[in-house]
Structure 1
Amino acid sequence: MRVNEYTIDGHLDTRKHEFNKWVLDIGERKVPATSKNRDDEPTWIKLPEEFIVKSEKTPIEAIVHTIFANFIERQEDEDYLLERAILTPMNHDADEINKHVFKQLQGATKTFKSSDEICKGSTDAIEQQQSYPVELLNELNFPRVPPDKLKLKIGQPIMLLQNEYPSAGMCNGTCLIITAFQKFVLQARIITGSHIGKTVIIPRIVLTSTQSRWPSS
């Protein structure tokens, strides 16, 4: 669903088309599979060589170099950025990839720190504040919640993770480029959707985790 089979000038990209067809064939069980380790069902498939990123150094460096070739020279090319994405199901892997790419971005780094605290509406909030100090909360990593220290640069691509102002184009999944930042707000330019080119302000917002093993924070 996320792989656009057409180039910017409207021509069909044969390689992307073949990749999409292969993924659909896997879902429809058209790709031959085998069993290993006494599996009850055949669930192992052979990956085509043309879809494999071979690693000579580290896997992260290899996949970033393959997907974002010539990144240093083209990091301000919005069309180049929109044509590429690296997807991973694990937050840890996404963080490591982001760190690797972030180091290659030009410009000074601005660090934004979270303001973690136990939800005031939580049961036994006072006792929980004593059991879960801020230092511990800062170390936790929740899905769809940024890390305690968010490092950003002017010109960096970012993506919204929740609906903020849908009528203005600020929806979950919207991609933007940071153009300026202050202590509590970010200024960014939308580069996807129906509001491309519009400059918006992203304020500091409250995010609440609902994971049951931790108190609301």
Structure 2
Amino acid sequence: MRVRQGQFDPDSEDLKLFAQWVLDIGNGQVPPPPNSNPLTENQILIPSRFCDLATENTVENMISSTFPDFSHNGTSSHYLSERAILTPTNQTVGQVNSVIVDMLLGESVCYLSVDSAEEFGGMDEELNQAFPVEYLNSLNIAGLPYHDLKLKVGAVVMLMRNLNQILGLCNGTRMIITKCLKFCVECEVICGTFAGSKHFILRMKLSPTDMKLSFKLVRKQMPLQLCYAMIINKSQGQSLKKIGLYLPKSVFTHGQYYVAVSRVTSPSGLTIFVDDKSNVATNVTQNVVYKEVFYSLPHS
């Protein structure tokens, strides 16, 4: 469906083959590479058209491939809304985003959060001693913005909470920062029905929905994260013209690889960067699919 929405002939043989390849990945029907180790599960061979094995998979090469001519187009909302780098882990996302933001002109503004701990079984004095502010600030938890959120005018961010669905301010909305003020930022929506609308994003109290700590972390911060690069799971629902899929480590959950390769509207918009255990570019990776998920589905 996403391929047919692209600005290409939906009846072309190339698009049909690409769409079928994506479906086979989702169903776990892509055969393993020849001469592969039978003890290694879920390995697949990526078509050579999507991988450049002659080029090292550095962050700079990925940026130049996914965001060509970034110095001239780095503040264009249309240009930025069409492309992103996808990767499985938040750690890699943070590294890539920091490199790209440094490429923007202007000074960055650092917004610090106010962190506190709640719902602890002991006394208040024990709470302050056991969980000092420095420790709370150091926690980087999925679903929460960073304690030190470094933003810059022209940077692309993603909203991490539903603020106002009527105005299009939903979890996953991509925006570009137009003003960095003292206590808030002004952002312009760059995708969807409400593209072009501007909103002020303020600090708000946020807590993770699923956390294994013995207390409730409350972080007062703007619900934003940089999104030149984003984790694969966060890209669900996005349709992009250009994607750089960066896999320094293989995907690790069911359907994750399928979600990544199915974000593009044409095969020409997909480039995959895979490293083996020796950090050398390869075109072999894992596709995790638990086929028992499909056993109870009705058959047409």
Same fold by TM-score greater than 0.5: yes
Whole-Å Cα distance in 1 between the matches of residues 164 and 107 of structure 2? 29
> Is the 2:120–2:214 Cα contact (8 Å) retained in structure 1?
no
- Cα offset for 1:4? 5.9
What does the per-residue CA deviation read over 1:45-100, in whole Å, with 9 as the maximum and x for residues that have no partner? 11111112547455322222211111111112222111101112211010011011
One-letter identity of the residue aligned with 1:63: M
* TM-score computed with the length of structure 2 as normaliser: 0.63
- Cα offset for 1:168? 1.1
1:123 is aligned to 2:121: yes
Superposition pairs for residues 29-178 of structure 1, below 5 Å?
A: 29-33=28-32, 36=37, 38-39=39-40, 42-54=41-53, 56=55, 59-119=58-118, 121-124=119-122, 126=124, 127-178=126-177
- Cα offset for 1:16? 7.4
The runs of 5 or more residues in structure 2 that have no matched partner are 218-300
Q: Which residue of 2 aligns with 1:212?
A: 212
Q: Which residue of 1 aligns with 2:8?
A: 11
- 186 and 144 in structure 1: CA distance in 2 versus 1, 3 angstrom threshold: same
- Cα offset for 1:162? 1.5
Higher RCO (CA < 8 A, seq sep 6+):
2
Moved over 4 A (4+): 3-7, 12-20, 53-58
Whole-Å Cα distance in 2 between the matches of residues 72 and 17 of structure 1? 35
Whole-Å Cα distance in 1 between the matches of residues 123 and 145 of structure 2? 23
User: What is the identity percentage for the equivalent residue pairs of Structure 1 and Structure 2?
Assistant: 31
- 60 and 32 in structure 1: CA distance in 2 versus 1, 3 angstrom threshold: same
Whole-Å Cα distance in 2 between the matches of residues 155 and 125 of structure 1? 46
Whole-Å Cα distance in 1 between the matches of residues 138 and 52 of structure 2? 32
* TM-score computed with the length of structure 1 as normaliser: 0.85
Bigger strand fraction: 2
The runs of 5 or more residues in structure 1 that have no matched partner are none
Equivalenced residues, count: 211
